[in-house]
Chains A and B, each alone.
Chain A
Amino acid sequence: MIELCGVRAGYHKRMVLRGIDLTFRPGEVLVLVGPNGCGKSTLLRTALGLMPCWGGQIRYDGVPLESLTPRQVARQAAFLSQSRMVPSITARRMVLHGRFPHLSYPRHYRAEDYRAVWEALEEAGAAGLADRPVTELSGGQRQMVYLAMAIAQQTPAILMDEPTTFLDIAHQLGVMRLARRLAGKGKAVVMVLHDLPLALAGGHRLAVLSDGALVRTGTPEEIYQSGVLETVFGVRQGRAQTADGWQYYCRSLEKEDI
């Protein structure tokens, strides 16, 4: 479990996060939503120690983040970054890199590493891509390979920064299904999403951020009923009952708009 207590952080002299209290719980998909620039990605990066925490405390299973080495953090939480390089290597080799935190010098891969990689590729639905160069894959396929790399890290928590951006609807739904499956296996899954209907449909819990502050957390139902999304995003929300449950949608407040 990762706990954030009164976390403040920012870039240069500009404060972006203003005292965030939030817990990443095992077995749960937590979706961070909020307008552009509200601090969602900064929150993930601060929680992982990728950027300094200016105030408050971050604890991994009760242990302060600052007392953990980068390798220890990497064994606790995997990260799917928004900014990704695509090296000219095979998908399998790429996923093998996910085992890096578990290896000591001179980093010879063991049978358990190969097994973890194979399971991760299958879990992410990328087993068929294993021998293909990552540079030759589509955006959606690359995303699955990167997800497999995060899964191969075998961490209790997986943090994903906009994992559905640039993906078609089928791949977006595939990512959400995978997130639910991982949570079902006891992992704490945290995702930054811009697609509100997808967040409401796929998350166990939502955290709504605005201007660096946590406005509200709750189940999709609680968030929907509170109307906080309408206030924060300036849109009109709605939903319709279907055979598969609620289908959410958002519309503009302006009549002449689409």
Chain B
Amino acid sequence: MNNWRISCTRLRDRPVRAAAVLAVLTAALALASLCLGAVELSPAQVLEALRQGDSGSVAARVMLYSRLPRTCGSLLTGAALAVAGVLVQTVLANPLAAPHIIGVNSGAGLGVTLCCAVAPAAALQPLAAFAGAMAGVLLVLLFAEMTGASRITLVLAGVAISSIFGALTDAVLTVFPDALTGYSDFRMGGLSGITSMGRLAPAAGMIAVSLAAVVALSGLLDILALGPETAQSLGVSVRPVRLAFLALAAALAGAAVSVCGLVGFVGLLVPHAMRRLVGEESRPLVLCAALGGASLMTLCDLLARLAAAPFELPVGTVLSVVGGPFFLYLLIRQRGGRTHD
């Protein structure tokens, strides 16, 4: 029994170390995001602006109406999209699945567009995004259950569902061309529209509650990862549990899309990278995915602001440029990972 406990402690070390490194990285990137930009601020100025609030100085205004909401936005949306990716991949037992691939993000996009066209209230947008994302989730789940679809078929179905939602979004924008006026780069993803903490608050609340629920239910996620039949034989009511996790994925992805637009790659890349780093035990995986997603999104937003200054690139473009080669590298190096026996 002593040997057991010693080896358990040793096995827990790696996720703890990984989480600590990622937490430091995330904090460093957040600080860089607060300091760097068209107006450069020192860490001391940042702290001073945070402490004093809206004192009227340039530094304080830059901080409160641009850098702080934008940095918080990148951290929250990155974490939300990455954890949504973990949930979708685990529940559908499909490493190719990700919120933007199976139509969750585009469903959320349609929800936001409809909301902006019909009832343009910022507080409603995360809810509308959740409704759209949930519609995407339910369509994919229905398709998977009715047809027993293979992994590739499920992904292709997701592409079709994304395409349908994209077409509907276009149709809404044709009728209401000014619906997304407040959103720059909605389709490619961007964070420049986040100009106040109030704008971020509804989505932040939804993301915080959903993340807490995912952590609280992570034990069930572990069992679900063994496959539906094994999970059920261990006493899990698979169907309602799957639906609950997909609803949480929809809430996370929907809330993120309502803030940053149709950013995709985070939900695919980060879960893969974190599985390689810490394995598939749910609680450390969710924690590290949240930190990894927050880091990646913040890094890409920083690059989007600085790479072609004074112009700003859409963050979705930077994500693809940075994440694409990294993802290909992971695929080339992958030897084992999740397999089906």
- A positions within 8 Å CB-CB of B: 45, 48, 50, 69-75, 77-79, 81, 83-90, 92-94, 97-98, 100-101, 106-107, 111, 114-115, 118, 130-131, 133, 135-136, 139, 142, 153
Interface string of B221-256 (1 = CB under 8 A from A): 011011101101111110000000000000000000
> Given contacts A85-B93, A88-B279, is CB(A50)–CB(B232) below 8 Å?
yes
For A98, list chain B residues within 8 Å (CB): 234
B336 contacts the other chain (CB 8 A): yes
Distance A143 CA – B281 CA, assembled complex (angstroms) = 20
Q: Tell me if A89 and B280 are in contact (CB < 8 A).
A: yes
Q: List the A side residues contacting B235 at CB < 8 Å.
A: 69-75, 100-101
**Quick check: B236 and A135 within 8 Å, CB to CB?**
no
Whether B332 is near chain A, meaning CB under 8 Å from some CB there, is no
Q: Give the residue of A70, A78, A92, A139 whose beta carbon is less than 8 angstroms from that of B232.
A: A70
| B333: min CB distance to chain A, Å | 14
A165 → chain B closest CB, angstroms: 10
Interface residue? B329 (CB, 8 A): no
Please determine whether B7 and A92 come into contact, CB atoms closer than 8 angstroms: yes
Q: Among B232, B234, B236, B341, point to the contact of A85 (Cβ < 8 A).
A: B341
- Contact (Cβ within 8 A) B280 A101: no
* Residue pair B1, A114 in contact (C-beta under 8 Å): yes
Report A-chain residues with C-beta under 8 Å of the C-beta of B93: 85
Could you say which of B225, B234, B236, B281 has the most chain A C-beta atoms within 10 Å of its C-beta?
Answer: B234
Whether the Cβ atoms of B229 and A118 lie closer than 8 Å is no
Q: Is the CB of B226 within 8 A of A85?
A: yes
Q: Please state if B280 and A83 are interface contacts (CB–CB under 8 Å).
A: no
Chain A residue nearest in CB terms to B233: A79
Residues of B with C-beta under 8 A to A136: 336
**Is the beta-carbon distance between B234 and A100 smaller than 8 angstroms?**
yes
| Choice from A84, A88, A100, A131 contacting B7 with Cβ under 8 Å | A131
In the bound complex, residues from chain B placing their C-beta under 8 Å from that of A89 are 279-281
CB < 8 Å neighbour of A84 from B216, B219, B226, B336:
B226
Nearest chain B CB to A160 CB, angstrom units: 11
Q: With A81-B227, A130-B7 in contact, do A86 and B234 touch (Cβ < 8 Å)?
A: no
- Known contacts being A100-B234, A153-B234, is A86 close to B229, with CB within 8 Å? no
With A48-B233, A70-B237, A74-B234 known as contacts, the answer to whether A97 contacts B226 (CB < 8 A) is yes
Give the CA-CA distance A92 to B281 in the complex, in Å.
12
Given A97-B222, A153-B234, verify A88-B338 contact (CB < 8 Å). yes
Query: Which chain A positions have C-beta within 8 A of B232?
Result: 48, 50, 70
Q: Is the CB of B7 within 8 A of A81?
A: no
Residues of chain A within 8 A of B233, CB atoms compared = 48, 50, 74, 77-79, 81
- A84–B280 Cα distance when bound, in Å, is 15
- Asked whether A70 and B236 contact (CB < 8 A) given A92-B7, A106-B219, A114-B1, the answer is yes
CB pair B4–A114 under 8 Å, yes or no, is yes
Q: Which 9 A-B pairs have the closest CB atoms?
A: A74-B235, A79-B233, A71-B235, A135-B336, A85-B227, A101-B235, A81-B229, A87-B280, A88-B280
Return A103 CB to nearest CB of chain B, in Å: 8
Q: Say how far B278's CB is from chain A's closest CB, in angstroms.
A: 9
With a cutoff of 8 Å between Cβ atoms, the chain B residues found around residue A86 in the complex are: 338-341
Of all chain B residues, which has the CB nearest A94?
Answer: B226
Contacts of A79 in B (CB 8 A): 229-230, 233
Inter-chain CA distance A93–B4, complex, in Å, is 11
Contact residues in B for A111 (Cβ distance below 8 Å): 1
In the complex, the chain A residue whose C-beta lies closest to that of B8 is: A92
Please give, as numbers and ranges, the residues of chain B lying within 8 Å of A87 by CB-CB distance.
Answer: 225-226, 280, 338
Tell me the smallest distance from the CB of A74 to a CB of chain B, in Å.
3
With A114-B1, A118-B4 already in contact, the answer to whether A88 and B337 are too (CB < 8 A) is yes
Once the chains are docked, how many angstroms separate the CA of A143 from the CA of B73?
46
Q: B182-217: contact bitstring with A at CB < 8 Å (1 yes, 0 no)?
A: 000000000000000000000000000000000010
Instruction: List the B side residues contacting A73 at CB < 8 Å.
Output: 235
B119 at the interface (CB under 8 A from A): no
